[in-house]
Amino acid sequence: MDIGIQEDRRVRKTKKALREALAELLLEKSIQDITVRELTDKADVHRSTFYANYKDIYDLYGQMETLVIQEISEITSMEYQLGTKVFFGVLFRYITDNKKVCRLILGEHGSNAFFNRIASLFKASCVDCLCKDLNLNGKAEAIEPYAYFFLSGSLALIREWVANDFEQAVEELMSMLIELDDIFRQFLKSKFA
């Protein structure tokens, strides 16, 4: 096995452990009350390893948000065109694979600024896809406010699901979102076609 690949895997594993430890601690207390020692003990990582990757806890948190935005951006750019069911399937798989971090960022402790960044990110892909699917070329600007409203509502349902510790079955929530997407598309067809 290539040593470089092995090191990359270890670095990724260490960073994930630190992100998850921070997510757990942030559910208990505010970020300014968390010490690096407490964080590294929880993640079972040496303090020097932490400082090799981050300036401070705020840097780690900022990188967490950026990473989630980047990963969700990849999901929206690649999957939204494959249809609503596939898109939501990939999105929910991402959330369930990253429960601790998503619980922090999308849950009740998540910032509204981050929530709005996610909604804006989805809006661009959604509008593009809707214009293509519904043959509404040239009407993207008119569709944008409706798409933002629809996506904000969809994300609010997902946020509620995360805040309630993923109690609702994924299939049930997906079914609800797919049904809402169908209704939304029918509305757009009747309004803009």
Which long-range contacts does 4-11 make (Cβ < 8 Å, 24+ apart)?
A: 11/53
pLDDT tens digits, 135-163? 888 999 999 999 989 988 998 899 889 88
This prediction's pTM: 0.75
The three-class DSSP label of residue 174 is: helix
Integer CA distances (angstroms), 174 to 48, 65, 155, in order:
43, 24, 12
Give 54's Cβ-side CA count (13 Å radius): 24
Mean pLDDT of the chain: 86
Alpha-carbon distance of 169 to 93, in angstroms, equals 12
Q: Which residues contact 25 (CB under 8 A, 6 or more apart)?
A: 34, 38, 39, 42
pLDDT tens digits, 111-136? 778 878 888 888 888 888 888 888 88
What are the structural domains of the chain?
1-54 (1.10.10.60), 71-192 (no CATH)
- Number of Cβ within 10 Å of residue 101's Cβ equals 21
Residue length, the chain?
A: 193
- Number of Cβ within 10 Å of residue 56's Cβ equals 12
Task: Decide if 126 contacts 80 (C-beta within 8 A).
Answer: yes
Of 114, 174, 185, the closest CA to residue 150 belongs to 185
Q: Check residues 109 and 144 and name the one with the higher pLDDT.
A: 144
pLDDT tens digits, 18-54? 999 998 898 888 888 999 999 999 999 999 999 999 9
